[in-house]
Structure 1
Amino acid sequence: MKLLNNAIAGTLESSDIQIFIEPKEEAGIEIELKSNVEKQFGRQIRKVIKETLESLRVEGAKVTANDKGALDCTIKARVQAAAYRAAGIKEKFDWEVIE
């Protein structure tokens, strides 16, 4: 999936995560995480973000994530929504479960 624009998904409400994604020219996924549970769950949050983007075949992206205690399923959903928005995909979403 080729990212064309910056995009955002999610809120700053409790139990949610706000994902801001922007395209990068270089390959690789860069993740900046802000979370009050980063010491306990930061590694897992980064892993879910990275694996979700890799499953969508996103090759170059900078992600800024502001976590408020989101579960893995919420993180995946927000990352998917932001990626589809950034790629300009507005219909025919592939919502297959990502494992």
Structure 2
Amino acid sequence: MMEIKQTAMAGTLESSDIQITLTPIAGATEIHLDSSVGKQFGEQIKQVITETLASYKVEHVRVDAVDRGALDCTIQARTQTVIQRGLDQVDQVNWEVL
């Protein structure tokens, strides 16, 4: 399991993007989603975030995601970036989990 050391953010609030904030917490992982397309794609967005967290073995975090219609590949990339920032490993990207 990888431990998130600090709160981190990735992404923007521009159209077709997603802004993700990752905060370490003591309890189980929580995902809070604010999305302009949440009714249609909310579960898919959460699934992409959950799978990306699992690939890095990240647990015990609060994920705040503000989606503006991002594609799955963008959601995954933003989640990977915020994980790397939260782990304080931005210079040592673990490409093998991709």
TM-score bracket, normalised by the shorter chain, equals over 0.9
Distance 1:73 1:84 in 2: 17
Q: Which residue of 2 aligns with 1:2?
A: 3
Is the 1:45–1:75 Cα contact (8 Å) retained in structure 2? yes
For each residue in 1:8-66, what CA deviation from the matched residue of structure 2 results, as whole angstroms up to 9, or x when unmatched? Answer: 0000000000000000122x320000001000000000000011001000011100000
Q: Which runs of 5+ in 2 are unaligned?
A: none
Percent identity at matched positions?
52
Equivalent in the alignment of 1:70? 70
Aligned to 1:46: 46
Normalized against structure 1, the TM-score is what? 0.92
RMSD, matched Cα? 1.1
Secondary structure of the corresponding residue to residue 84 of structure 2: helix
Structure 1 residue ranges, 4+ long, deviating more than 4 angstroms after superposition: none
Offset of residue 90 of structure 1: 2.5
Partner of 2:20: 19
SS across alignment from 1:31: strand
2:63 match: secondary structure: strand
- Aligned partners of 2:66 and 2:96: how far apart in 1? 25
Match for 1:43: what amino acid? E
Gaps in structure 1 of 5+ consecutive residues = none
Letter in 2 for 1:57: K
The answer (yes or no) to whether the contact 1:29–1:50 under 8 Å persists in 2 is: no
**CA distance, structure 2, for counterparts of residue 82 and residue 97 of structure 1:** 14
Contact 2:16 2:70 in 1 (8 A): yes
Number of aligned pairs? Answer: 97
The 1-side partners of 2:8 and 2:77 are apart by: 14
Aligned mates of 1:51, 1:13 — CA distance in 2: 24
Distance of 2:90 and 2:59 partners within structure 1: 20
